[in-house]
Amino acid sequence: MKKSVAGLFAVVATVAFAGTAQAQICAGYPSSDRGFYFGARADFPENVDSYGVEANYNFSGPLGVYGGLNVISNENDNSDEESNDELFAGVAFEVASLGLMVGPRVSVCPVGELRNIKQYNGDSYTAVPVGLGVGASLGIPGIRAAGYVQPQIVFSRVEAGGQTGDFQNDFAVKAGVMGGVGLLTVGGELRHHFVDNAQTTFGIRVGIAL
Instruction: Sketch the domain layout of the chain as residue ranges.
Output: 2-209
Model pLDDT for residues 66-80, shown as the tens digit of each residue: 999 999 987 665 555
Which amino acid, one-letter code, is at 84?
N
CATH architecture for segment(s) 2-209? Beta Barrel (2.40)
pLDDT, tens only, 97-117:
777 777 777 889 999 999 999
Spacing of C-alpha 98 from chain mean position = 19
pTM of the model: 0.81
pLDDT at residue 24, as a whole number: 81
Q: Which helix (DSSP H) or strand (DSSP E) does residue 98 occupy?
A: helix 96-102
Burial of 67 (0-12, 13-18, 19+ CB in 10 A): middle
Task: Give the burial class of 1: count Cβ atoms within 10 A of its Cβ; 0-12 exposed, 13-18 middle, 19 or more buried.
Answer: exposed
Paired sense of beta strands 168-181 and 201-209, if any = unpaired
User: In this structure, how many other beta carbons lie within 10 angstroms of the beta carbon of residue 80?
Assistant: 9
Summarised one tens digit per residue, pLDDT across range 129-161 is: 999 999 998 888 888 899 999 999 999 999 887
CA distance linking residue 51 with residue 84, whole number of Å: 11
Q: What are phi and psi of 135, to 5 degrees?
A: -130, 160
User: Residue 42: its pLDDT value, please?
Assistant: 96
